[in-house]
Structure 1
Amino acid sequence: MRDQMKLTYIPSAYITHTGKMYEIMVEVPGVKKGDIHLEMTEQGFCLNAEGERFKYSGCWSLAHRVKPETASAGFSDGLLRITVELAEDVKGLEIPVN
């Protein structure tokens, strides 16, 4: 069987925070849970995953420091869900729009 070159994609990531934690969703369709490699640091995270036809690779910086030891991840239907606590609570100043 001839080896085929797999295309590498940067997956789409959706990042929100509640003031106390980040909630992150990353789209990685076509891979299995055991083929996902995720690393979290205080400043961001990197993900590598490989399916039968595609590879996914990407690193993201986060606007606020996090506690990587609190991170948890779940995977279902091609969607990786990550939660991680912020290193400190974040409160913004609401600006009225005229």
Structure 2
Amino acid sequence: MANLRLWSPMEQLVQDLGNMSKFLEVPNVPVLFKGGEPKVDIVQTDKEVIIMADVPGVKKEDMHVTVTEDTITFQGEAKSSTETKKEDYFHSERFYGCYSRTLPLPVLVDSAHAKAKFEDGVLTVTIPKASKPEKGTAVTID
């Protein structure tokens, strides 16, 4: 007996969108991080916030990190190690160029004590959480 399924407009829409996204994949366009942005994980412990960013192919001296009390910004440049002309490539997926990404942090942090290390293409930034603000002060009305 044949396996019959009812037609589902939502299921069809999802399938059509998936097929359409293939048209947006342009061949021979280099990609290191999707959209030119590094992939990032943000972890919160009791005392600190730890941010890990994948930045393969980027040199330490070509990266800049800025931390405010509630955001972190990664900026950098992935430079090509060769001088090959575009016409010479058969297939290219690696990204070369500048990137910048600003992310909100889950809590207020003490940006003055942020520390960063770079190892094996992963940038790790550790920032202590800010001291808890005072609860509030009662004010006498004259």
| Normalised-by-shorter TM-score class | 0.7 to 0.9
Contact between 1:73 and 1:82, CA under 8 Å: does it hold in 2? yes
Q: Which amino acid aligns with 2:99?
A: Y
Q: Quote the Cα distance in structure 2 between the aligned partners of 1:30 and 1:39.
A: 20
**1:34 counterpart SS class:** helix
Correspondence 1:43 to 2:70: yes
Q: Which amino acid aligns with 1:88?
A: S
Correspondence 1:85 to 2:128: yes
**1:66 counterpart SS class:** coil
1:35 deviates by: 0.4
**1:24 counterpart SS class:** strand
Q: Which has more radius of gyration?
A: 2
1:81 deviates by: 0.5
1:32 deviates by: 0.4
2:116 aligned residue: 73
Kindly indicate which of the two structures has a greater share of residues assigned to strand: 1
Correspondence 1:59 to 2:102: yes
Q: Which amino acid aligns with 1:66?
A: V
Q: When the two structures are aligned, how many residues end up with a matched partner?
A: 84
Q: Quote the Cα distance in structure 2 between the aligned partners of 1:23 and 1:45.
A: 11
**C-alpha RMSD over aligned residues:** 1.7
Return 5+ residue gaps in structure 1 as ranges.
Answer: 1-5, 90-98
**2:112 counterpart SS class:** helix
Q: Quote the Cα distance in structure 1 between the aligned partners of 2:118 and 2:46.
A: 24
Kindly indicate which of the two structures has a greater share of residues assigned to helix: 2
2:93 aligned residue: none
Contact between 1:30 and 1:54, CA under 8 Å: does it hold in 2? no
2:92 aligned residue: none
TM-score (norm 2): 0.55
1:24 aligned residue: 51
Query: Sequence identity of aligned pairs in percent?
Result: 35
Return 5+ residue gaps in structure 2 as ranges.
Answer: 1-29, 80-95, 133-142
